Each structure stands twice: as structure tokens, then as C-alpha cells.
């Protein structure tokens, strides 16, 4: 007997094309996006130090979301668009 599936698929999304990756990180502006979930601020500060040690001319750019449970918002995204070439974000607990 045929039964109705209770599952729902998502409407097709237009997949965004990720920007071409740089061949090298040298001299690039590297964004560090703090999602406010502890201890990500300390992780990002550590990464900033490591990036400066490892990548010649690297320019880390730190920015934080305002509220943990909400998306970063247009101001943060615009700032990233203007100030970074690549960005590191985090999810988890």
C-alpha cells in the first residue's frame, strides 16, 4: 500500500558561488568572525597570533557578532565585505 511521506524537502536554493580561493594567503586580509560563543574570542586571538607568525604580511581583521543566537547582520557582513579577503568563522559548543 502507498503511504504519504511526512517529510518535507526544501525549496531549491540558488547556490551561491564561493569566491575563488587565493593561491596564497601572503599579504591578505584574513577575517576572524567571533560568534560570541565562549571561548571563541580567545581562539580568535590565538589564531590572530598564529596567522601573523605563519603568513608573511598577513593582516588579521577581528570582528564580532552582537548576539550569540542571531545572525551576524548586515553591518557585520558589510564590514567583512570591505575589510577581508577570506574569513574564518566557527560553529559548535
Kindly state whether residue 81 participates in binding another protein, applying the rule CB under 8 A: no
33 burial level (CB within 10 Å; 0-12, 13-18, 19+): buried
Kindly state whether residue 63 participates in binding another protein, applying the rule CB under 8 A: no
Pairing of strands 59-64, 29-34: parallel
Q: How far is the CB of 27 from another protein (least distance, A)?
A: 12
CB atoms within 10 A of CB 77: 14
Residue whose CB is less far from another protein, 70 or 82: 70
Give the number of residues written for the chain. Answer: 93
Kindly state whether residue 75 participates in binding another protein, applying the rule CB under 8 A: no
Residues that bind another protein (CB under 8 A): 1-16, 18, 20-25, 30, 36-39, 42-43, 46-47, 50, 54-55, 67-70, 86, 88-93
Amino acid at each position: 500500500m502507498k503511504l504519504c511521506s511526512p517529510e518535507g524537502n526544501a525549496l531549491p536554493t540558488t547556490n551561491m558561488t564561493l569566491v575563488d580561493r587565493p593561491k596564497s594567503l601572503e599579504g591578505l586580509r584574513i577575517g576572524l568572525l567571533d560568534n560570541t560563543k565562549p571561548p571563541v574570542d580567545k581562539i580568535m586571538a590565538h589564531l590572530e597570533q598564529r596567522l601573523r607568525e605563519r603568513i608573511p604580511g598577513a593582516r588579521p581583521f577581528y570582528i564580532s557578532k552582537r548576539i550569540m543566537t542571531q545572525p551576524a547582520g548586515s553591518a557585520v557582513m558589510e564590514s567583512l565585505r570591505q575589510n577581508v579577503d577570506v574569513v574564518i568563522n566557527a560553529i559548535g559548543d
